[in-house]
Amino acid sequence: MKLLILDRDGTLNRSRDDYVASPDEWEALPGALEAVARLNQGGWRVVLATNQSGIGRGLFDMASLNAIHTKMHRQLAAAGARVDAVFFCPHAPD
């Protein structure tokens, strides 16, 4: 099995100076979703590993993160792509 582990912010979506805290703030980078589709077509399984310390800092909650990822999965599917799993760390730096 071919497996590719990607970061989310700055790889699939635009990074922000603050945090992507809502679905409205999640914006795919040009060509990123299509690149995942090409990887999938080439037999790659793609998973995300993402640090989401905004949860630990109280800037957004799990419902918001789930809504962000729902939007991401829908846009991926519309591009003929999929991410097989999303792993995240919700902890603050301390």
pTM score? 0.94
pLDDT in tens, 16-54: 888 999 999 999 999 999 999 999 999 999 999 999 999
Helices and strands: H and E segment counts in the chain: 3, 3
Say which of 7, 24, 61, 84 is annotated catalytic: 7
Per-residue confidence (pLDDT) for residue 31, from 0 to 100: 98
Residues with Cβ within 8 Å of residue 94, at least 6 apart in sequence: none
The answer, yes or no, to whether residue 56 has pLDDT greater than 90, is yes
Q: What is d(CA 73, CA 1) in angstroms, rounded to the nearest whole number?
A: 22
Q: Is residue 17 among the annotated active site residues?
A: no
DSSP state of 22: S
Q: What domains does the chain contain, in order, with CATH numbers?
A: 14-45+56-89 (3.40.50.1000)
Q: Per-residue pLDDT for 93 more than 90? A: no
